[in-house]
Amino acid sequence: MDENEIEGAAKDIGGKIKDGIGGLTGDEALQAEGKADQVAGTAQKLYGAAKESIGAAADAASEAFSSHKPHCEATGNPYVEDNLLTRASEMAKAQPLLAMLGTAVAGYALAVLFHGRSRR
């Protein structure tokens, strides 16, 4: 579990407590603050989960690429240790939001390419 997921869960729970106390006491400002904390906590939990998922996927992709090294050596094909996939997985771990954005843009571009433009 990522530290962002833990901190987000704590913010979410704290927000629920504030919201509940505000509701019991009639303090609308405290209720609003509690709801804002819940939203922030949920967002932070989702960020942590996405960051962890991207890191795991990057590790799996790098591991899969590395598993081909014996095959490359056996067939005489060159195996490049400093490969693009390794650098991409390191970037995805360091900047998960940028990696998600890049993936979304690439997916959209592929959808447009394969689907084509609608005919009028």
Using alpha carbons only, what angle is made at residue 22 by residues 16 and 28, rounded to the nearest 5 degrees?
Answer: 115
In a domain, 120, yes or no: no
User: Residue 27: pLDDT band by 50, 70, 90 thresholds?
Assistant: very high
Q: State the chain's mean pLDDT as an integer.
A: 79
The pLDDT, as a whole number, for residue 63 is 75
Instruction: Dump pLDDT digits (tens) for 69-104.
Output: 676 667 766 655 556 666 777 777 778 777 778 778
Q: How many domains does the chain have?
A: 1
In a domain, 21, yes or no: yes
The pLDDT, as a whole number, for residue 11 is 93
In a domain, 42, yes or no: yes
The pLDDT, as a whole number, for residue 120 is 46
The pLDDT, as a whole number, for residue 77 is 65
Which residues make Cβ contacts (< 8 Å) with residue 22, sequence separation at least 6?
A: 28, 29, 30, 31, 32, 33, 34
Q: Indicate whether 51 pLDDT > 70.
A: yes
Range of the domain at 42: 3-115
User: Residue 36: pLDDT band by 50, 70, 90 thresholds?
Assistant: very high
Distance CA 56, CA 89 (A): 9
Average pLDDT over residues 30-57: 87
